[in-house]
A = this chain, B = another copy of it.
Amino acid sequence: MKLSLPAQSILLPSPVLIIGTYSSDGIPNIMNAAWGGIVSSQPPCISVSLREATLTYHNIIRAEVFTVNIPSEKYVKEADFVGLVSGKNCDKFKETRLTPEKSKLVNAPIVKEFPYALECKLVRQVDLGRHTMFIGEIVGMVADNDVLNPNQLPDIEKVRPILWGSFGSMAYYNIGVKLGNAFSVGNELIKKSVRI
């Protein structure tokens, strides 16, 4: 039975984005954001939506750059921690014992222990209410050699990213098994429809 329910910002799955910026005093900061996604492929762009209350919001407005770091599942505690505390009163790299490495392309830190990161330059800012959406052009990518496929692209089976179950579960999950190849598994229906 289908039920009509109140509007909710529930997308399944949601990603776990660890946003890297420098504070005005040069201290590297990371925060956990779930509101975001790819918004364009040419040029490659990603959106991240943040509340004004966060330190990262102000860091991005000032520096106009940020990184999006993708944690692997073994860093679920660290990923959650950097969403529980504010960089205004905590050095999150120090507390998590994660290592900041400055991006070569943008003035923002990369999390050394995480498998890959997108290096972004702010190109658009859209105020939407409680959240402001920052659109960053992805100008480069930094990845561990051992999570890449033969085409030098991050392989999800090696990255082992975290997903967030949103408000319905309030929990993190890992990826499961492969269901089929994209732009391929649906071909079975095309053939079937042709046969009919």
Spell out A's residues near B (CB within 8 Å): 1-15, 17, 34-47, 49, 68, 70, 73, 76-85, 95-96, 101, 104-105, 110, 112, 116, 118-119, 124, 126, 128-131, 133, 135, 137-145, 148-149, 151-157, 159, 161-190, 193
Contact = CB atoms under 8 A, between A and B. Distances in A.
Contact of A44 (B8, B161, B185): B8
Contact of A186 (B84, B173, B175, B189): B84
A49 B44 contact: no
B165 A156 contact: yes
A173 B177 contact: yes
Contacts of A183: 80, 83-84, 170
Given A10-B141, A47-B39, A186-B80, A155 B175 contact: no
A7 B139 CA distance: 5
5 contacts: A7-B141, A10-B116, A14-B38, A40-B49, A95-B190
A135 B104 CA distance: 32
Nearest to A41: B9
A171 B118 CA distance: 21
A111 to B, nearest CB: 11
A105 to B, nearest CB: 8
A3 B159 CA distance: 14
A36 B135 CA distance: 12
Given A81-B190, A153-B168, 19 more contacts: A2-B110, A3-B143, A11-B36, A11-B70, A12-B15, A13-B161, A15-B37, A40-B130, A40-B131, A47-B47, A83-B182, A85-B190, A95-B193, A155-B168, A170-B182, A170-B184, A172-B180, A173-B179, A174-B177
Contacts of A189: 77-78, 81, 95-96
